[in-house]
Amino acid sequence: MDVEVHRVRVSDRTTWSMIEVRADGISGWGEFSDAGPGMDLAARTVTGALRTALDDLQARRDGVPLIATPRPIPLYANINRATTERTPDGFRLMAKKAVSVGFSCVKLAPFDGLTGPHRAEEGLACARAVRDEIGPAGLIVDVHELLDDAELDRVLPGLAGLGLVWLEDAAPLGRPERLRRIRDAVGCPLAGGELIGDFADALPAIQAGALDVLMPDVKHAGGAGNALHLARLAREHGLTVSLHNPSGPVATAVSAHVTAALDDTAPLEFMFGEHDSRASLTEPAERVLDGVWWPSGGAGIGVDVVQEGQL
């Protein structure tokens, strides 16, 4: 058995990192992009990619899907990394592009990269610009836990007026009372959990009634199997599940297979617009039409990586 690492540099912000496991002329694939920060998270992400690649290899040998028979999976467009002009007009333009090709929900992280005493208000202005552009389409705001309590409190009334599908990573899961106060103020569901590998890490927030949407990531959870396990536990506790997936076509295919094994999930995250040649990375090419991911029909995850280096 041979193991090889492949990397594709997509942009200044993003490099997709993948593991290929080969045996008997068959390849299995896993993705470990964004493996940091911290040794524990990095180790879990890399070993999870290896587990997924081995599971993919075995599924291909058996001629079956990775987890469940895949189905078309509705997506929402994460426009954050594609928006290089971090202004209201920059976000507005990228949101317009996403909606124009069929996405009915858009996510942005408007506070990323902002500095200074008014960064919270500047980020809110970007979110408002997207809401104005997309009209009644769904809108998700990801805080990335960047704002301190005072900063976030200043813009919660403004965020409440945007009619959000959910507010993501507003505060750490270890602060359930703070999360409850945020939800009371913003009036929408709260989402989080993208870095967890153990359900116990989310349980205090869940038991406190402070988390509505769990977002396991097939990379950071330690592989597809554990991501599915976390998702099922979340459903048993009454939460909505939407997999975290700011990732390349390999992790997207894996995430779609996990999502297909669940009933009645929220749309899956899709990293929109970061590079026009994204679909050419795999064979067959990734199919995303009108905001929906379509399965290839092949065994395992259904795709192979055919290009590496610089897209």
Tell me, what's the pLDDT at 308? 66
Residue 143 one-letter amino acid:
V
Q: Alpha-carbon distance 290 to 304, whole Å? A: 23
> Is 148 part of a structural domain of the chain?
yes
Asked whether residue 87 falls in the same domain as residue 39, the answer is no
Asked whether residue 283 falls in the same domain as residue 233, the answer is yes
- pLDDT reading at 310 higher than 60: no
SS3 82: coil
Residue ending a domain, choose from 62, 97, 114? 62
Q: Where are the beta strands (DSSP E) in 209-253?
A: 213-214, 240-241
Asked whether residue 148 falls in the same domain as residue 92, the answer is yes
Tell me, what's the pLDDT at 108? 99
Task: Quote the number of domains for the chain.
Answer: 2
- pLDDT reading at 81 higher than 60: yes
Asked whether residue 270 falls in the same domain as residue 156, the answer is yes
pLDDT (mean) for 262-271: 91
Asked whether residue 10 falls in the same domain as residue 141, the answer is no
- pLDDT reading at 264 higher than 80: no
Residue ending a domain, choose from 15, 31, 62? 62
> Is 307 part of a structural domain of the chain?
no
Q: Alpha-carbon distance 95 to 77, whole Å? A: 8
Q: Give first-to-last CA distance, the chain, whole Å.
A: 28
pLDDT (mean) for 101-127: 98
Confidence of residue 309 (pLDDT cuts 50, 70, 90): low
Asked whether residue 93 falls in the same domain as residue 212, the answer is yes
Tell me, what's the pLDDT at 35? 81
Asked whether residue 175 falls in the same domain as residue 237, the answer is yes
- pLDDT reading at 147 higher than 80: yes
Instruction: Convert the pLDDT of each residue in 151-173 to its tens digit.
Output: 999 999 999 999 999 999 999 99
pLDDT (mean) for 77-105: 98
Asked whether residue 54 falls in the same domain as residue 188, the answer is no
pLDDT (mean) for 171-188: 97
> Is 105 part of a structural domain of the chain?
yes
Asked whether residue 50 falls in the same domain as residue 143, the answer is no
> Is 308 part of a structural domain of the chain?
no
- pLDDT reading at 187 higher than 80: yes
Tell me, what's the pLDDT at 265? 77
> Is 304 part of a structural domain of the chain?
no
Tell me, what's the pLDDT at 36? 74
pLDDT (mean) for 278-307: 95
- pLDDT reading at 15 higher than 80: yes
pLDDT (mean) for 95-99: 99
- pLDDT reading at 236 higher than 90: yes
Asked whether residue 174 falls in the same domain as residue 31, the answer is no
Domain residues for 265? 73-299
Residue ending a domain, choose from 62, 83, 108? 62
pLDDT (mean) for 104-116: 98
Confidence of residue 69 (pLDDT cuts 50, 70, 90): confident
pLDDT (mean) for 144-155: 98
Task: Please compute Rg for the chain using Cα positions.
Answer: 19
Asked whether residue 53 falls in the same domain as residue 105, the answer is no
> Is 182 part of a structural domain of the chain?
yes
Phi, psi of 153 (to 5 degrees): -60, -35
Asked whether residue 46 falls in the same domain as residue 81, the answer is no
Task: Specify the pTM.
Answer: 0.96
Q: Alpha-carbon distance 164 to 140, whole Å? A: 6
Mean of pLDDT over the chain = 96
> Is 67 part of a structural domain of the chain?
no
> Is 310 part of a structural domain of the chain?
no
pLDDT (mean) for 21-32: 97
- What CATH number did the domain enclosing 171 receive? 3.20.20.120
Q: Alpha-carbon distance 250 to 17, whole Å? A: 10
